[in-house]
Amino acid sequence: MDQSCFSTEQRRSCQTMNPDLFKSCPENSPLAPTQKPNRSKCEQTKVELAQVVIDPKTGRSYSKGKLLGKGGFARCYEMTDLSSNKMYAVKVIPQSRVSKPHQRDKITNEIELHKTLQHKHVVKFSHHFEDQDNIYIFLELCSRKSLAHIWKARHTLTDPEVRYYLRQIISGLKYLHNKGILHRDLKLGNFFVNENMDLRLGDFGLAAKLETVEQRKKTICGTPNYLAPEVLNRQGHGTESDVWSLGCVMYTLLCGNPPFETLDLKETYKCIKEVKYTLPPSLSAAAQKLISAILQKNPSDRLTLDQILAHEYFSKGFTPDKLPPTACVMVPELNPPSPAKKFFTKMAKSLFRKKKSKEKNPSEDKEDISKLVSGIVKHSISRQISYKTVGVNEVASPAGQLAVSGPLDTPAEDVSRKSTSRSFKGTVASSTDGCEDLLTPASVAEATMKVLINCLSSMPAASRNTPCVTKPKPFVWVTKWVDYSNKYGFGYQLSNQNVGVLFNEGTHLSLCDQRRVVRYCLTNNKHFTFQADTLPEQLQSQKHIVELMANYMEQNLMEGGDLGCDEQPSPTDCPLLLQWMKTDHALVMLFNNGSLQVNFYTDHTKVIMSKLADTYLLTYVSRERISSSYSLNTLCEHGCSSDLRHRLHYVVQLLQHYNKT
């Protein structure tokens, strides 16, 4: 179904290469050949549609809305179900256009085929009915029209946008081909875009079941500029013909015009048969290679859909997760992933390939390193994990997501942790089982929540913050961080330059004292300390990952602020991250020394609750990156600004929600 640009009946049933047939009623598309046709026959089919259409079988009434698209064969209107207010795109076909048996058979086949399709990148079929005047096919409404409209407004698209659309087209096309269906009319006007900028493949008027080579249809159908050589040469239709059209679509979106378009239709056909086109130098090298690999004269030489997705144009290029609606009319502002992802992926692949070749007994090493999987529980309030790689002062709010990675103190897992044992082939400098090991994320969250609630309940109103502690005692806090949990874990740098990573499976490794000391924590909370040069072989891989993240943060991220302490924290002070969480507004980190830190995305302010002996020190880093530290007793007595109070209330609500879950 084309909600914008319909092929004509003459174009659909074309049985010859004579270009004059295309002139009788042309493609109503900006991509059609530039000859001016005679439209008199098309205009004779116009039928005035009533403002309210009634289904004669169910009695349901539908109010006609705006015209979405038209052609010589049918028109498409926006219609609203008056009983439910649901809106549809409705293809309206006059009965006069299906008076002959073969014409009605084509519509019946289109309906029966489309009814069987259910895929996120295929226009959804709802229902159909007919009255004495028309046939009505009710389909999913795609409010942002089609790629033809976007192309007309933009003329050319950027590589990330083209990758975004092509990935979705290929997804829908693979679904059709797997069901043995050829589309046979892939063009910009048949790719529809919904309210959320998701693409839908539509208009199955020319679609056909895939036949064997001997049975393939030899008819010529489709849009002239997108016809494959084997279609023009009557060699029959196969999936390769759809792939050819896909290559023409890619070329058109990147270059602004179809690859074989000329002023004369015969010349266009000649160019197609000879695969004669030019690749503008403005195209990236990867785009040129991919287009050339698709537009091959011999169908068997063309890339398959899977090979297209594996091509460097996709594998080495940025594809956005979503496009803004403004992309329909102007170049969008897209935020490619930071260099961290490419940096880590390249280095880690190299690292693990090297390690894998050295392993004598992979099963033993796996048992040794990942026995801890049984001890990890991942918890998410939104039931989603955010994999966005971001750093301090680079954070974009991740749309309502909250991610948690790390061990939780649940009864079942507690038993699992206590039963977990681990031995290393190396010298253990020390093994600690002190009181800090008794702290869990839940206990840190509960203790912090209680002191904040007590403070806020007794805090008087104030227009500004109370005078801060002139010389706060030194404490460590997170100055930089990077979320690479889609592969390995969450990395962070402390204010004393120590770095750590909480790995996805629940283990934790820190590099302390100028990276000369390594601290390692199992999921059963057992801690080990090693000199870096005596680190056991089975921990080397994790150490390398920590070093990669540390180097990235050092080279690419800004410090989160300056606390201005006269005395710096000890380089041996290295609290371990117990758990991190992402909400739609902030990042929360809980540490095994009882401290908590909350980084707010939008203005980069921070709230740090440092556990010092039997009291807490609250530090607030403002938008201007200026820090102020207060004892909670002082805040209880004098109050604080509305900005800080608002943030403290948010932290309390978050911790309350956390404890309930």
The tens digit of pLDDT for each residue in 91-137 reads 999 998 888 888 899 899 999 999 999 999 999 999 999 999 999 99
Max CA separation in the chain (angstroms): 92
Q: Which residue has the higher pLDDT, 357 or 660?
A: 660
DSSP state of 461: P
Block residue for tokens 């900028």: 197
Kindly write down the DSSP assignment for every residue of 603-659, as one continuous string.
T--EEEEEEETTEEEEEEE-TTSBEEEEEHHHHHHH---HHHHHHHHHHHHHHHHHH
Reported as a single tens digit per residue, the pLDDT across 15-67 is: 333 333 333 333 333 334 333 344 444 444 455 788 999 999 999 999 999 99
Reported as a single tens digit per residue, the pLDDT across 532-547 is: 999 998 899 999 999 9
Provide the pLDDT confidence category of residue 633 given band limits of 50, 70 and 90. confident
Residue 91 annotated in ligand binding: yes
Cα 437 off chain centre by: 38
Q: Are 255 and 196 in contact (CB under 8 A)?
A: no
Of 306, 331, 308, 335, the C-alpha closest to 320 is 335
Per-residue confidence (pLDDT) for residue 502, from 0 to 100: 93
**Could you give the C-alpha distances from 254 to 151, 155, 161, 508, in angstroms and in order?**
10, 8, 10, 46
Give the dihedral of Cα atoms 564, 570, 575, 581; nearest 10 deg.
Answer: 20
Which 3 state secondary structure label does DSSP give 103?
A: helix
**For 202-238, b where at least 16 C-beta lie within 10 A, e where not — what string?**
bbbbbbbebeeeeebeebbbbbbbbbbbbbbeeebbb
Q: Measured between alpha carbons, how far is 127 from 115 in angstroms, rounded to an integer?
A: 8
Reported as a single tens digit per residue, the pLDDT across 282-316 is: 899 999 999 999 999 999 999 999 999 999 999 99
The pairing of strands 508-512 and 499-503 is: antiparallel
Per-residue confidence (pLDDT) for residue 226, from 0 to 100: 86
**Residues involved in catalysis:** 185
Q: Are 423 and 508 in contact (CB under 8 A)?
A: no
Block residue for tokens 């091509």: 311
Q: Are 296 and 302 in contact (CB under 8 A)?
A: yes
Reported as a single tens digit per residue, the pLDDT across 476-519 is: 899 999 988 878 899 999 988 999 999 988 899 999 988 999 99
Which 3 state secondary structure label does DSSP give 193?
A: strand
DSSP state of 414: H
Per-residue confidence (pLDDT) for residue 411, from 0 to 100: 30
Average pLDDT, integer, range 401-425: 32
| H or E stretch at 313 | helix 312-315
Reported as a single tens digit per residue, the pLDDT across 199-254 is: 999 999 888 887 655 444 555 555 678 888 988 888 877 899 999 999 999 999 99
- Other beta carbons less than 10 A from residue 251's beta carbon: 26
Per-residue confidence (pLDDT) for residue 146, from 0 to 100: 94
Q: Measured between alpha carbons, how far is 347 from 341 in angstroms, rounded to an integer?
A: 10
Average pLDDT, integer, range 430-444: 61
Per-residue confidence (pLDDT) for residue 286, from 0 to 100: 95
Q: Which residue has the higher pLDDT, 356 or 571?
A: 571
Per-residue confidence (pLDDT) for residue 72, from 0 to 100: 65
Burial tier of 55 (Cβ tally within 10 Å: 0-12, 13-18, 19+):
middle
User: Residue 608 carries which side chain, given as an amino acid letter?
Assistant: I
Per-residue confidence (pLDDT) for residue 572, from 0 to 100: 72
Q: Measured between alpha carbons, how far is 442 from 579 in angstroms, rounded to an integer?
A: 10
Per-residue confidence (pLDDT) for residue 395, from 0 to 100: 30
Residue 407 has pLDDT above 80, yes or no: no
Reported as a single tens digit per residue, the pLDDT across 145-180 is: 999 999 999 989 999 999 999 999 999 999 999 999
Per-residue confidence (pLDDT) for residue 144, from 0 to 100: 92
Which 3 state secondary structure label does DSSP give 90?
A: strand
Provide the pLDDT confidence category of residue 388 given band limits of 50, 70 and 90. very low
Block residue for tokens 């609750």: 609
No. of H helices and E strands in the chain? 19, 24
Per-residue confidence (pLDDT) for residue 623, from 0 to 100: 83
Of 367, 363, 372, the C-alpha closest to 416 is 372
Q: Measured between alpha carbons, how far is 521 from 529 in angstroms, rounded to an integer?
A: 9
Kindly write down the DSSP assignment for every residue of 330-388, as one continuous string.
S-----PPPHHHHHHHHHHHHHHHHHHHH-S-HHHHHHHHHGGGGG-----TTS-----
Per-residue confidence (pLDDT) for residue 220, from 0 to 100: 55
Residue 508 sits at φ, ψ, to 5 deg, of: -140, 135
Q: Measured between alpha carbons, how far is 368 from 572 in angstroms, rounded to an integer?
A: 28
Per-residue confidence (pLDDT) for residue 459, from 0 to 100: 85
* Average model confidence (pLDDT) across the chain: 76
Q: How many residues does the chain have?
A: 661
User: Residue 418 carries which side chain, given as an amino acid letter?
Assistant: K
Reported as a single tens digit per residue, the pLDDT across 535-581 is: 998 899 999 999 999 988 888 887 766 555 555 667 778 889 999 98
User: Residue 648 carries which side chain, given as an amino acid letter?
Assistant: L
Domains of the chain: 52-140 (3.30.200.20), 145-323 (1.10.510.10), 441-659 (3.30.1120.30)
**Radius of gyration, CA atoms only, the chain:** 32
User: Residue 225 carries which side chain, given as an amino acid letter?
Assistant: N
Q: Measured between alpha carbons, how far is 185 from 195 in angstroms, rounded to an integer?
A: 24
User: Residue 402 carries which side chain, given as an amino acid letter?
Assistant: L
pTM attached to this predicted model: 0.49
Residue 658 has pLDDT above 80, yes or no: no
Residue 399 has pLDDT above 80, yes or no: no
Angle formed at CA 226 by CA 289 and CA 233, multiple of 5 degrees: 100
346: tokens are: 């390249």
